[in-house]
């Protein structure tokens, strides 16, 4: 998987990944013999690490759980593939729930050998992954370790985790941010990823129309204030909030925030060039899918960075604009439709 944005292979979706995960869990609990349970627990841990970190199979098999799985900080430490290159180890966040689960398993007396190594024959691991996929009724190839890694990347992108953060998490080279982009430090990218992983695990939000960004300017008036933020992907989002809200949230420039806009507040314009409009925010993209209804229809727009934006408009308006999948469109929304959130 050399390039996320250019990868058009079919992967298991979030629901199918959940089905596969439950299959692995049930399979791992079935044996009565301790040695068989140990073997299956090892495979389950390997699956969970690939499924939630997007790591390569060889990276996971090279782990020394006692020192590389840091349950107290909810992190997995992957060594650089080529030590002589001088590259630093990569730390990947996992949810607190998964960290607690791993800690409980590794503390079991019968699982003590797992603390030393997860080293297993890669061919054996692939065979077990294929078996679980077939058991779930999936094409076995979709259940392979490399395809699970790709499915995790696709899942993160659908959840609107910015591409640089996804690439950092998967150990891919992160593109240099040009002058058109706001500068995010490695620690800020790390913070964005950590917040996303916890929100994902707790299912706090669908996150489809969420943007992680850094506040660039705050223009304060007597009653209201305009807050402009730049996202990790280079988009600019403007919102209007009351001065009271500004003070209550303690917002300041260079602060990381999450901006959300509800789908009904987004309007679409099929135009190659940015349309003249009073809307404060305009993002270009391509219609990826349409869910048509008698009264309203849902349009999913794929933005230039691979993330998506959802718009719900009247079906009559969609027909009048003759919006079709693959059309170039602009997603427009006003500053009053954007809500800012702070995460602890």
- pLDDT tens, per residue, the chain with 344 residues: 444 444 556 899 889 999 999 999 999 988 889 889 899 999 999 999 999 999 999 999 999 998 999 999 999 999 876 554 455 688 999 999 999 999 988 888 888 888 888 888 999 999 999 999 999 999 999 999 999 999 999 888 877 787 778 888 888 865 444 433 456 777 888 888 888 888 787 765 444 688 888 899 999 999 999 999 988 777 899 999 999 999 998 999 989 888 999 999 999 998 878 888 889 999 999 999 999 999 999 999 988 777 788 999 999 999 999 999 999 999 999 999 999 988 65
Domains, the chain, in order of start with CATH, read 14-158 (1.10.443.10), 263-333 (2.40.50.100)
Query: Is pTM beyond 0.85 here?
Result: no
- DSSP strand pairing (281-291 vs 267-269): unpaired
pLDDT of residue 293: 93
Give ∠ CA 256-76-93 in degrees, rounded to 5: 20
Check: CB of residue 57 under 8 Å from CB of residue 67.
no
pLDDT of residue 23: 96
Q: How far apart are CA 225 and CA 340, in angstroms?
A: 13
pLDDT of residue 330: 94
What are the CA-CA distances from residue 230 to residues 111, 210, 341 (Å)?
46, 13, 15
Q: State CA 54 to chain mean position distance.
A: 10
Check: CB of residue 34 under 8 Å from CB of residue 111.
no
Q: How far apart are CA 61 and CA 46, in angstroms?
A: 8
Q: How far apart are CA 184 and CA 165, in angstroms?
A: 10
pLDDT of residue 176: 46
């Amino acid at each position: 998987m050399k390039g996320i944005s250019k990868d058009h292979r079919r992967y298991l979706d979030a629901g199918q990944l959940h089905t596969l995960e439950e299959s692995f869990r049930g399979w791992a609990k079935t044996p009565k013999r301790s040695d068989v349970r140990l073997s299956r627990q090892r495979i389950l841990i390997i699956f969970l690490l690939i499924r939630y970190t997007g790591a390569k199979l060889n990276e996971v098999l090279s782990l020394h759980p006692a020192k590389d799985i840091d349950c107290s900080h909810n992190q997995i430490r992957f060594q650089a593939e080529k030590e002589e290159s001088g590259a630093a180890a990569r730390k990947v966040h996992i949810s607190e729930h998964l960290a607690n689960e791993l800690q409980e398993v590794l503390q079991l007396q019968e699982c003590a050998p797992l603390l030393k190594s997860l080293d297993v024959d890669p061919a054996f691991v692939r065979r077990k992954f294929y078996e679980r996929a077939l058991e779930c009724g999936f094409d076995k190839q979709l259940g392979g370790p490399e395809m699970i890694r790709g499915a995790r990347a696709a899942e993160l992108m659908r959840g609107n985790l910015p591409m640089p953060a996804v690439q950092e998490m998967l150990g891919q080279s992160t593109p240099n941010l040009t002058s058109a982009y706001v500068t995010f430090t490695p620690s800020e990218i790390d913070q964005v990823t950590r917040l996303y992983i916890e929100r994902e695990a707790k299912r706090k939000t669908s996150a489809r129309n969420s943007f992680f960004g850094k506040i660039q300017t705050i223009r304060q008036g007597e009653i209201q204030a305009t807050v402009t933020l730049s996202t990790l992907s280079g988009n600019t989002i403007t919102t209007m909030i009351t001065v009271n809200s500004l003070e209550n949230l303690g917002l300041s420039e260079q602060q990381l925030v999450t901006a959300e806009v509800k789908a009904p507040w987004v309007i679409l314009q099929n135009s190659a060039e940015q349309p003249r409009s009073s809307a404060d925010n305009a993002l270009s993209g391509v219609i990826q899918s349409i869910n048509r209804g008698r009264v309203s229809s849902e349009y999913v727009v794929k933005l230039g960075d691979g993330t998506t934006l959802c718009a719900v408009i009247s079906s009559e308006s969609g027909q009048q604009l003759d919006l079709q999948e693959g059309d170039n469109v602009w997603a427009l929304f006003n500053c009053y439709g954007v809500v800012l959130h702070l995460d602890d």
